[in-house]
Amino acid sequence: MSVIEALILGIIQGLTEFLPVSSSGHLELAKAILGDNSLPEESLLMTVVLHAATALSTVFVFRKDIVKIVVGLLQFKNNEQFKFSLKIVISMVPAAFAGIFFDEEIDALFNGQILLVGSMLFITGLLLFLADKAKNTEKKTNFSQALIIGIAQAIAILPGISRSGATISTSVMLGIDREKAARFSFLMVVPLIFGKIAKDVLGGEISADSATLIPLGVGFAMAFITGLLACKWMIKLVKQSQLKYFAYYCFIVGAITVFWKLY
């Protein structure tokens, strides 16, 4: 993979990890358009590095919230801080279950399944459109809602369904405050990303050599920088009820993708 390709993929990952348009779907589309001929393990390594970069950008933006979550779990006191930390843990269960027991099936979905990506983008657009029409409230997430949002995150493993779009849309349609929904969505994915990275690294599924270090570094840097900007921007957009524009974008890209593969 060239440095230019790594730079492009880094920018795409950084923006689409937080903007509700499916980072996994856009990475698959970008690789198809760029004609990615890298070996499977090299492609996987780049994907892991890009996700690590956006996970770190999330940690940076929400560092205070993450400290509170960890402290809340360690204190094990029946207070609001502990309850919020427990809700984050509960929300992770469905995706963690899917990742552990259906890992091979999930990996098969990320093998040039462009038609699937285009189809799932329509679902993402529909979710965003419905969420944009929902009334804004100041409600907090309860335990049952945390599990439902977690199920939405598990379904969003499919390439083309935006993880942030699915979780934020689900939260908003459940009546949760928009800003709280965005923060909860971004916080709940961090442990899962690092867990997936650890699994791939410890499992020996990826490896690096000196020839790939520069592209990896460029991709990581661009994903981290654009991720910081997109994360903060997304929170503002959710508060201002501007998800419908991303819905239109998903509809258009989905239609182009399906047409491209069928014709």
Per-residue model confidence as pLDDT tens digits over 97-113: 998 888 888 877 777 68
Question: Letter for the amino acid at 141?
Answer: T
Chain segment 176-188, per-residue pLDDT in tens: 988 888 889 998 9
Cβ–Cβ under 8 Å, residues 227 and 193: no
Longest CA–CA separation in the chain, Å? 59
Q: Which of 49, 58, 9, 39 is nearest to 200 (CA)?
A: 49
Q: What is the pLDDT of residue 39?
A: 44
Provide mean pLDDT across the span 237-252. Answer: 87
Per-residue pLDDT for 169 more than 50?
yes
3-state SS assignment for residue 139: strand
Instruction: Show contacts of 230-235: CB within 8 Å, 24+ apart.
Output: 230/14, 230/15, 230/16, 230/17, 230/18, 230/19, 231/18, 231/57, 231/58, 231/61, 231/186, 232/61, 233/18, 233/19, 234/18, 234/19, 234/20, 234/164, 234/182, 235/179, 235/182, 235/183
Chain segment 68-79, per-residue pLDDT in tens: 888 888 877 778
Q: What is the pLDDT of residue 36?
A: 63
For the chain, the domains span 3-262
Q: Out of 26-40, 167-181, 246-260, give the one with best mean pLDDT.
A: 246-260
Per-residue pLDDT for 210 more than 60?
no
Per-residue pLDDT for 127 more than 90?
yes
CA atoms of 172 and 186, how far apart (whole Å): 14
Neighbours of 141 (CB within 10 A): 25
Q: What is the pLDDT of residue 34?
A: 78
